[in-house]
Amino acid sequence: MLEPGQEAPEFELPNQDGDPVSLSEFEGQRVVLYFYPRADTRGCTIEAKGFRDNMEAYEAADVAVLGISNDPVEDIADFAEKYDLEFDLLSDEDGSVAEAYESFGTIEMEGETHDIAYRNTFVIGPDGRIEVVYEGVDPGDHPEELLADLGADAA
């Protein structure tokens, strides 16, 4: 797992609209980079809605929120539209960015193996260095926990 103090790996991925988004676009701003396994599944929906419901607080704290999964753009576009998610969700179809963040692997569910992004979050500082790492987060309270850790008030 990447550690606080390390340089955050640079990336460029398409968002839910197909537009490229790179980490370097947020230089000088704190970024919450959260990896989630699969769009429109129970835990991922709870987590995404938590970020959505607290976006005003994240914006007030000048913190950008980026969600990454290995879903195709079409799936994250449907997910964003269905739940009115106005922050960037990024498609990492080959898992290379999740791998660079040591947040990608194979799991077995119902006798089948799936390559997924692990539910980990990285807070990246304005200088591009990792400030905090959250491994295997609870999707239910994670967006609010992050705000508290960042010294901001949840919705």
Give the residue numbers marked as catalytic: 44
Residue (of 61, 60, 36) closest to 48 by Cα position: 36
Phi-psi region of 17 (alpha: psi -120 to 50; beta: other; left: phi over 0): alpha
- Residue 58, token pair as written in the block: 């994240």
Residue (of 45, 43, 36, 38) closest to 83 by Cα position: 45
Task: Find out whether 135 and 1 touch, Cβ atoms under 8 Å.
Answer: yes
User: Tokens 């239910």 label which residue?
Assistant: 140
Residue (of 45, 46, 40, 97) closest to 68 by Cα position: 97
